[in-house]
Structures are given as structure tokens and as C-alpha cells.
């Protein structure tokens, strides 16, 4: 049995200064880096997810309701879609990009990105792939999903951290339970949109997620 850490959407647009910031997002990026540096030997694999929007339809809106529609964010090939520079990527084995042409909250909707198509905070400006490249990658029928990748690496136990607690973290954790994994969400390594996250925590626990 293998154990994996899933780092959800720790991207520039979801941190302070981005187009859809989560309060405390940058602090979460730094805290995850510190945690992984100290505890990476407790995991067989570390993976990260990214919102990676090309034409996500009505997921974007000029007058968003901040429930089902949102301001443009994490557009493929832009700095906003890059991983936050305070997130240390040294131990990340694979990246899964989601939401190319529709809303996508769960990391289990993502597909494996080629190693040369993952923009991170450590890349120099101009290093991000062109949107045309992203479109070709997203259209690849042979793209590997997160569940396929975890199964191929014999993962049975996952720990989920990242942004935002009440949206993509929760969706990823609940999908992981549905896929048959043992799932833990580390509350101190997440940050949420709602001021009170009790409902999100309750929904995760009801869905079979352990909270730490």
C-alpha cells in the first residue's frame, strides 16, 4: 500500500494579489512547503492539482455570484495559473490540470500534465506554455487522470491539503472517498472562502473524510 499527498490548487490567482484570492492562501503555500520538507518521507508520492481554464463556459461571469460563477481565474498559460512561488515543488511527482473547458472543482477531474508543460512559481517569466499547447494537451484522449495515476502507483491512502477548503479541497476529498481511498484533510494546511467552514467540515465528515 502506498500513501500520497494531494496538494490542491495552490496557485497565484487563489492567493493574495490574485484574481480570486483566498484569505491566507500564501500562508497555506508556505505551510505546505514546510510540512512537505519535514514529512515527505511519510509519503510515497506527492502530487499537485491546478485549475487550468481555457474556455470554461459559464464558469466565468462578468457579474459572478461567487457560488456557481466566478471572475476569470487560472487561465491556461498565464501567471495566475502558475503555482504560488512559496509552494516548494521539489518533492512533487506529478501535476494534474483541470477545468479546461468546464467548471472543475475536484482534482479527480484533472489530467496528467507533461513535465515540460507545468508552469510553477520557480519558472522564469515567459516559461509558461502557450494556450494553443494547452488546448492540444487537454484534447489528448489518452491523457491520464488522477485516479488512474494513483491506482497505477498502488496508492490506497491520501492526505489532501490546499485551496480552497470549501470548494476544490472538499470536492477532491469527497471524490477520493468515492473512488475507494482512505482520505484525510489537514485543516491547518487549507484555507477556505467562507468565513465559517463548519458546514464544509461536516459535509466532508459525513462523506467519509477524516479531518486532522
Residue 131 phi, psi dihedral angles, 5° rounding: -60, -35
- DSSP 3-state assignment of 45? strand
| From 15, 88, 168, 175, active-site residue | 168
d(CA 61, CA 58): 6
What is the pLDDT at residue 127? Answer: 40
Paired with 163 in beta bridges are 191
* Residue 8 buriedness (CB in 10 A; 0-12 / 13-18 / 19+): buried
| From 9, 13, 86, 166, active-site residue | 9
Which domains are delineated in the chain?
9-156+174-192 (3.40.50.850)
> Is 15 designated active site?
no
What is the pLDDT at residue 114? Answer: 79
82, 74 Cβ separation under 8 angstroms? no
- DSSP 3-state assignment of 166? helix
> Is 168 designated active site?
yes
| From 15, 98, 147, 175, active-site residue | 98
For 108-154, strand residue ranges (E) read 111-112
What is the pLDDT at residue 112? Answer: 94
pLDDT by position in tens, the chain (length 212): 899 999 999 999 999 999 999 999 999 999 999 999 999 999 999 999 999 999 998 999 989 988 889 999 999 989 999 999 999 999 999 999 999 999 999 999 999 997 666 555 444 333 444 444 555 455 556 789 999 999 999 999 999 999 999 999 999 999 999 999 999 999 999 999 999 999 999 999 999 999 99
194, 40 Cβ separation under 8 angstroms? no
What is the pLDDT at residue 83? Answer: 96
* Residue 143 buriedness (CB in 10 A; 0-12 / 13-18 / 19+): middle
Residue 38 phi, psi dihedral angles, 5° rounding: -85, -35
Residues 6 or more apart from 163 whose CB is under 8 A from it?
8, 9, 10, 11, 14, 15, 22, 25, 28, 169, 190, 191
Going by C-alpha positions, the residue among 180, 123, 124 that lies closest to residue 154 is: 180
> Is 9 designated active site?
yes
Amino acid at each position: 500500500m502506498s500513501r500520497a499527498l494531494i496538494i490542491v490548487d495552490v496557485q497565484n490567482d487563489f492567493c493574495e494579489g490574485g484574481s480570486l484570492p483566498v484569505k491566507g492562501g500564501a500562508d497555506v503555500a508556505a505551510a505546505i512547503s514546510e510540512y512537505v520538507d519535514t514529512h515527505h518521507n511519510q509519503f510515497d508520492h506527492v502530487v499537485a492539482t491546478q485549475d487550468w481554464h481555457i474556455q470554461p463556459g459559464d464558469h466565468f461571469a462578468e457579474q459572478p455570484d461567487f457560488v456557481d460563477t466566478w471572475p476569470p481565474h487560472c487561465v491556461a498559460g498565464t501567471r495566475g495559473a502558475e503555482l504560488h512561488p512559496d509552494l516548494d515543488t521539489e518533492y512533487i511527482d506529478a501535476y494534474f490540470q483541470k477545468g479546461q473547458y468546464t467548471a472543475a472543482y475536484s482534482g479527480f477531474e484533472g489530467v496528467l500534465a507533461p513535465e515540460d508543460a507545468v508552469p510553477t512559481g520557480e519558472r522564469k517569466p515567459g516559461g509558461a506554455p502557450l494556450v494553443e499547447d494547452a488546448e492540444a494537451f487537454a484534447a489528448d484522449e489518452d491523457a491520464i487522470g488522477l485516479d488512474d495515476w494513483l491506482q497505477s502507483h498502488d496508492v490506497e491512502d491520501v492526505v489532501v491539503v490546499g485551496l480552497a477548503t470549501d470548494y476544490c479541497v472538499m470536492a477532491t476529498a469527497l471524490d477520493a472517498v468515492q473512488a475507494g481511498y482512505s482520505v484525510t484533510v489537514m485543516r491547518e494546511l487549507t484555507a477556505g472562502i467562507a468565513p465559517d467552514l463548519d458546514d464544509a467540515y461536516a459535509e466532508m465528515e459525513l462523506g467519509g473524510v477524516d479531518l486532522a
